[in-house]
């Protein structure tokens, strides 16, 4: 009798952990509407609708940018929590001396986080852009 209770508890715990892992994988994703041609990790990215998906634990994550099913760029970022949720998805850029814009942060809509992209040239003032 005791063994069946232990086995039932172990099975329930395993089921709960596996469902949390599956649900957690889908929540690390956001839509990103780029209104400007920007540079991400040295690559020029055209305007359009993209999906940003991040993986990793702790403050350092790996972000992959998709255009449809095609991977456009993969780059590291720092995940920072904030008190209030982003009202909608957005991103910010910095303008280089040559006029090109580089991605500096992604603000996933409805989430309490910011994905800050590490860039050496991020010393210029940022300009926020909204995304749907």
What domain range includes position 83? 29-130
Question: Does residue 130 have a pLDDT over 60?
Answer: no
Report the domain count for the chain. Answer: 1
Let me know if residue 7 belongs to a domain. no
Residue 26, burial from CB neighbour count under 10 angstroms (0-12, 13-18, 19+): exposed
Separation of alpha carbons 32 and 45, rounded Å: 12
10 falls within a domain:
no
Asked if residue 82 belongs to a domain, the reply is yes
Cβ atoms of 131 and 34 closer than 8 Å: yes
pLDDT band of 5, cuts 50, 70, 90: low
Over the stretch 61-100, which tens digit does the pLDDT of each residue have? Answer: 999 999 999 999 999 999 999 999 999 999 999 999 999 9
CB 38 within 8 A of CB 105: no
Residue 14 lies in a domain: no
Asked if residue 11 belongs to a domain, the reply is no
| 68 token code pair | 């449809």
Q: Does residue 87 form part of some domain?
A: yes
């Amino acid at each position: 009798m005791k063994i069946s209770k232990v086995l039932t508890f172990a099975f329930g715990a395993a089921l709960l952990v596996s469902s949390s892992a599956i649900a957690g994988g889908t929540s690390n994703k956001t839509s990103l509407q780029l209104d400007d041609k920007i540079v991400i990790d040295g690559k020029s990215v055209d305007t359009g609708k993209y999906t940003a998906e991040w993986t990793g634990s702790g403050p350092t994550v790996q972000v992959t940018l998709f255009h449809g099913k095609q991977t456009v760029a993969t780059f590291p970022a720092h995940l920072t929590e904030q008190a209030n949720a982003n009202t909608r998805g957005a991103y910010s850029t910095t303008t280089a001396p040559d006029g090109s814009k580089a991605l500096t942060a992604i603000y996933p809509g409805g989430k309490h986080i910011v994905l800050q992209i590490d860039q050496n040239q991020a010393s210029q003032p940022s300009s926020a852009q909204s995304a749907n």
